[in-house]
Structure 1
Amino acid sequence: MSITCISCHQATRHLNPTHAEITQQSESGEWGIDLILACTHCGQQYGAWVLNWDVVPLERITANSPLTPHNVNKPAD
């Protein structure tokens, strides 16, 4: 499946991420990710709002994983 850009009318299967910020909606108080994606051909930007519970990890990260934030810059024992 692809989308057709409203600006350059090119079909694309990929949009470049340009911005992703975790924010809280003032109206509902719900937390989510404000995304701005851009056409790979002309740079036309598109906005999307993804609720936080719709975002899932691609791999399981456990509390002891070296990728968890509290361990990122911790020296090895």
Structure 2
Amino acid sequence: MASSKNGDDQTLVAPAGGANPPVDSITEGLDGAAPKQTGEGDREQAIREAAYAAYERRGETEGNPEQDWLDAEAEVNARSGP
């Protein structure tokens, strides 16, 4: 089992069974294809993209990320219906 020290001299130990995620989760989407998601993940991704689009429309300047998220969530909800 691998271990090391952090800045506070506490021993850090890798979890049993390996600390690395499966390779598929690392490389997913790197070929230009959208990551595979289902259900709630699709909705959250749509909200994330809509919130980022609001940021881009604002000229990538600072704003209110929480309000961007809420507006994007309302937009996604309106598109998907009740």
Structures share a fold, TM > 0.5? no
Bin of the TM-score, shorter chain as denominator length: under 0.3
Structure (1 or 2) with the larger CA radius of gyration: 2
Q: Which has the higher strand share?
A: 1
Q: Which has the higher helix share?
A: 2
Q: TM-score, normalised by structure 1?
A: 0.20
Q: TM-score, normalised by structure 2?
A: 0.20
